[in-house]
């Protein structure tokens, strides 16, 4: 399916948001886009919660609620999805509602299980075709049809589509007038109210704690009980499942419970609640253990289009939108933020809320957040330009539609290029997409024609380790080992017996009981052995490029590659975090994850919390970054593995 995504930086002035009426917009396009985020929060909630069958709800109440947004039960035998028509089969559990003029529709189809949902989803979802927006929430722009605003999503029992057709044509956002954006806002308000009705009606009562709370159409602060439920849930999952307490020996997790319970009981906004949750999470110092703010809460923050990077002598601007090209030149050094020296600002205002396994990633995340501030506030910076001037600048929440000074090209999951001197260049940008394997199999037979292969993993943040292992099978002449892993194991009766075991334990059983009592018993899995594709072997010297963004499954790839003998690595320390996180929902629409699996080299050597160090450390300086010179690749081109 071809998709067009249009990215907007939500730079806007906060307005008073209340009531059920559409907003009078000062900047219509940006404000409507903000409103769209609220709809995505409700969709995310419905997608993840346990839902009722429609037959189990009060049909008359449900229909009355839908009538308030103009939807009435319809006997039509078709529904529009995007600009296509889906004809209905009467025997199935299908529920169709339309407005009286039949222009707008709500369609719900119910299934017995998730397998049936996914089978139908494969039929319905491609009907979107080319769209503008999100996969669940999108516009259709075509010359032959009026513009429509559409919602298409699935729950664990349903597929739901909502469509509002607008009385004008356009081919993109730029052709929409101010008056037409106001029409879109009214249509969008109806859609969000419809999603709110579905959330209140279909989701179990016990699920409502996880519904988003911060939208303009559904403002509802979390209660102290709800906040503490979320904290205790996270705390408990960490206590029994977190894999890296050994890397935070100074943290007493039981003390964290007693210290923070009163803090969560005190009155606070949803944003403040998630900041406090992030503070707790940051104590664990793990890159696969994180708290994620709800969608409708994240929109309260302003993010200027500026990219920063840390070098040995400070923090520098390496890219901005053209809006800031004159006032904040590339190469400017940041001195202070809100009149606080930048190092102190990062240490006191950002680090307490960042969970990262390594210091180099902690600073990287901090720089992504350095210029973030609430919409209703402003943020000032002091800096030194490359010309030696020392101005200050005050950011406010303003729309910025200008392009980047340095435009990054769109990347594919896998990219292949023939370089000079008969060198092949294979850039693997992700292991999260099976397309990586499909694309690799298309070009693998040509690689043998080259004298050297450079594999670039610098932008590969992980995914499925199996995809990486499958690629390595074509380069290995022998079976190779994957990472060794372990996970904590809890047996309630063993913990009870362990309280009475004397030290030292008399046998293996007593030792297991004692370790379980101390919450330190582990299931240890040996490395897997991967057989090579000897019938399709590619014999070629290999150099691997790595960096701070090489993470998770990409680090698993490096562990296996080193075991094969591919030790010529160039670049910088890797991310230093991998594992298998378990996800939990949090009150108000956010989520958290906890790393449950500890990976090491086959011999037990650790890399989580440290990063994998390249054999040849090569880091660009400021001028090399600004000039777009790839010194890491240049070094690899000269290397003779």
**pLDDT of 429 higher than 80:** yes
Going by pLDDT thresholds of 50, 70 and 90, the confidence category of residue 4 is very low
Distance, in Å, from the CA atom of 274 to the CA atom of 294, rounded to the nearest integer, reads 9
Task: Give the residue extent of every domain in the chain.
Answer: 28-210, 301-395, 414-638
Mean pLDDT confidence for 261-271:
95
**How many other CB atoms sit within 10 Å of the CB of residue 225?**
12
* pLDDT exceeds cutoff 60 at 11: no
Report pLDDT for 586.
97
Cα 560–chain centre separation = 26
List pLDDT tens digits, range 215-248. Answer: 777 788 899 999 999 999 999 999 999 999 999 9
d(CA 319, CA 541) in angstroms, rounded, equals 36
**In this model, does residue 6 exceed pLDDT 70?**
no
Angle between helix 465-472 and 435-447 (nearest 10): 10
Point out which residues pair with 617 in neighbouring strands. 571
Q: pLDDT at position 129, please?
A: 84
Half-sphere exposure of 472 (CA within 13 A, CB side): 28
Q: Tell me the pLDDT band of 569, cut-offs 50, 70 and 90.
A: very high
Give the Cα separation of 393 and 306 in Å (integer): 13
404 pLDDT band, cuts 50/70/90, is very high
Q: What is the pLDDT of residue 235?
A: 98
Residue 134 pLDDT: 76
The SS3 call for residue 541 is: coil
**What is the predicted pLDDT for the residue at 82?**
86
Q: What is the mean pLDDT of residues 335-345?
A: 98
- Using 50, 70 and 90 to split pLDDT, how confident is the model at 25? very low
What's residue 398's pLDDT? 84
- Residue 399 near residue 11, CB atoms below 8 Å: yes
pLDDT greater than 50 at residue 15: no
pLDDT tops 70 at residue 573: yes
Q: What is the end-to-end Cα distance of the chain in Å, rounded?
A: 41
What mean pLDDT is predicted for residues 509-513? Answer: 96
Structural contact between residues 355 and 289, judged by C-beta atoms closer than 8 angstroms: yes
- Neighbouring-strand partners of residue 463: 431
Mean pLDDT of the chain: 91
Each residue of 92-108: pLDDT tens digit? 688 999 999 999 999 99
For 243-301, give the secondary structure using H, E and C.
CCHHHCCCCCHHHHHHHHHHHHHCCCCHHHHHHHHHHHHHCCCCCCCEEECCHHHHCCE
H helix intervals, 139-252: 178-202, 224-241
Instruction: Please state the CATH superfamily assignment of the domain spanning residues 414-638 in this structure.
Output: 2-enoyl-CoA Hydratase; Chain A, domain 1 (3.90.226.10)
What distance in Å separates the CA atoms of residue 617 and residue 634, rounded to the nearest whole number?
Answer: 13
User: HEC states along 446-497?
Assistant: HHCCCCEEEEECCCCCCECHHHHHHHHCCCCCCCEECCEEEEECCCHHHHHH
- Provide the pairing of β-strand 72-73 with 94-98: antiparallel
291/235 Cα distance (integer angstroms): 12
- Return d(Cα 580, Cα 109) in angstroms, integer: 34
Q: How far apart are CA 69 and CA 381, in angstroms?
A: 47
pLDDT, average across residues 121-141: 86
pLDDT at 539: 95
Phi and psi (nearest 5°) for 534? -65, -25
Please give the pLDDT value at position 31.
67
Average pLDDT over every residue of 37-47: 88
Identify the DSSP state of 321: B
Instruction: Indicate whether this model's pTM tops 0.85.
Output: yes
Q: Model confidence at 352, in pLDDT bands (50, 70, 90)?
A: very high
CA angle at 157 for the pair 156 and 160, rounded to the nearest 5° = 100
pLDDT exceeds 80 at position 641: no
Give the whole-angstrom CA distance, residue 296 versus residue 293.
8
Looking at residue 137, its pLDDT comes to 87
Rounded mean pLDDT of 447-470?
A: 96
Predicted confidence band at 13 (pLDDT cuts at 50, 70, 90)?
very low
Strand locations in 289-420 (E): 290-292, 301-302, 306-311, 314-320, 333-337, 340-341, 373-374, 379-384, 392-395, 414-419
What is the pLDDT at residue 140? 92
pLDDT bucket at 5, cuts 50 / 70 / 90: very low
The answer to whether the 301-395 and 414-638 domains have the same CATH topology is: no
Tell me the fold of 301-395: Pdz3 Domain (2.30.42)
Report how many helices (DSSP H) and strands (DSSP E) the chain contains, helices first: 17, 31
């Amino acid at each position: 399916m071809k998709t067009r995504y249009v990215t907007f930086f939500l730079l806007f002035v906060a307005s008073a948001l209340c009531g059920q009426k559409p907003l009078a917009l000062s900047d219509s396009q940006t404000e409507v886009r903000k409103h769209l985020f609220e709809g995505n929060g409700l969709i995310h909630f419905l997608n993840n919660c346990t839902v009722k069958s429609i037959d189990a709800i009060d049909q008359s109440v449900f229909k009355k609620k839908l009538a308030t947004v103009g939807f009435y039960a319809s006997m039509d035998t078709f529904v529009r999805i995007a600009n296509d028509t889906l004809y209905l089969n009467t025997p199935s559990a299908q529920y169709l509602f339309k407005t009286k003029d039949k222009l707008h529709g709500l369609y719900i189809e119910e299934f017995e299980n998730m397998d049936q949902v996914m089978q139908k989803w494969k039929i319905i979802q491609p009907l979107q075709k080319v769209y503008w927006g999100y996969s669940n929430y999108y516009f259709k722009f075509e010359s032959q049809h009026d513009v429509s605003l559409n919602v298409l999503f699935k729950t664990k029992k349903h597929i739901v589509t909502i469509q509002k057709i607008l009385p004008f044509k356009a081919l993109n956002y730029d052709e929409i007038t101010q008056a037409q954006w106001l029409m879109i806002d009214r249509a969008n308000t109806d859609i969000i109210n419809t999603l709110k009705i579905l959330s209140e009606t279909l989701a179990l009562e016990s699920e409502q704690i996880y519904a988003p709370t911060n939208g303009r159409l559904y403002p509802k602060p979390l209660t102290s009980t709800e906040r503490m439920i979320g904290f205790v849930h996270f705390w408990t999952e960490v206590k029994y499942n977190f894999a890296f307490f050994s890397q935070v020996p100074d943290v007493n997790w039981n003390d964290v419970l007693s210290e923070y319970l009163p803090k969560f009981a005190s009155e606070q906004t949803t944003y403040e609640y998630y900041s406090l949750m992030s503070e707790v999470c940051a104590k664990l110092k793990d890159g696969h253990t994180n708290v994620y703010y709800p969608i409708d809460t994240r929109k309260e923050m302003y993010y200027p289009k500026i990219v920063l990077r840390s070098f040995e002598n400070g923090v520098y601007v390496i890219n901005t939108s053209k809006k800031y090209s004159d006032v904040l030149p590339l190469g400017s050094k940041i001195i202070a933020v809100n009149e606080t020296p930048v190092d102190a600002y990062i240490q006191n205002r950002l680090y307490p809320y960042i969970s990262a396994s390594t210091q180099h990633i902690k600073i990287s995340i901090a720089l992504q957040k350095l210029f973030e501030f609430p919409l209703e506030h402003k943020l000032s910076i002091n800096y030194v330009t490359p010309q030696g001037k020392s101005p200050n600048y005050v950011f406010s929440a303003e729309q910025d539609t200008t392009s980047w000074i340095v435009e990054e090209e769109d990347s594919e999951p896998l990219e292949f290029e023939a370089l000079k001197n008969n060198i092949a260049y294979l850039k693997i940008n992700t292991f999260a997409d099976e397309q990586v394997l499909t694309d690799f199999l298309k070009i693998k037979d040509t690689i043998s024609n080259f004298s050297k292969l450079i594999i670039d993993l610098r932008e590969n943040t992980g995914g499925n380790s199996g995809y990486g292992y499958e690629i390595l099978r074509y380069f290995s002449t022998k079976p190779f080992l994957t990472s060794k892993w372990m996970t904590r194991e809890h047996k309630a009766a063993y913990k009870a017996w362990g309280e009475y075991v004397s030290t030292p334990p008399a046998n293996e059983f007593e030792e297991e009981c004692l370790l379980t009592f101390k919450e330190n018993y582990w299931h240890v899995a040996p490395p897997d052995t991967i057989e090579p594709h000897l019938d399709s072997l590619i014999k070629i010297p290999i150099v691997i490029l790595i960096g701070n963004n090489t993470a998770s499954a990409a680090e698993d790839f490096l562990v296996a590659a080193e075991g094969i003998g591919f030790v010529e690595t160039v670049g910088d320390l890797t991310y230093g975090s991998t594992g298998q996180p378990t996800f939990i929902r949090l009150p108000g629409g956010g989520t958290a994850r906890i790393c449950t699996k500890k990976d090491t080299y086959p011999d037990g050597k650790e890399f989580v919390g440290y990063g994998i160090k390249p054999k040849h450390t090569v880091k660009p300086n400021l001028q090399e970054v600004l000039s777009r010179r790839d010194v890491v690749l240049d070094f690899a081109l000269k290397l003779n593995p």
